[in-house]
Amino acid sequence: MRDEHRTEEKIEKRKEPGKVGATFIKYGFITLITLIILFFIANYLLPMIPGGGDGAVNNSASGVEIEQPIDEEPISA
- Does some domain include residue 13? no
- Does some domain include residue 73? no
Q: How many domains does the chain have?
A: 1
Residue-number span of the structural domain to which 34 is assigned = 18-50
Residue 67, Cβ density class (10 Å: 0-12 exposed, 13-18 middle, ≥19 buried): exposed
Give per-residue pLDDT as tens, 2-49. 556 677 788 877 666 778 889 999 999 999 999 999 999 999 988 888
- Does some domain include residue 63? no
- Does some domain include residue 71? no
Beta-carbon neighbour count of residue 47 at 10 Å? 15
pTM, entire model? 0.44
- Does some domain include residue 75? no
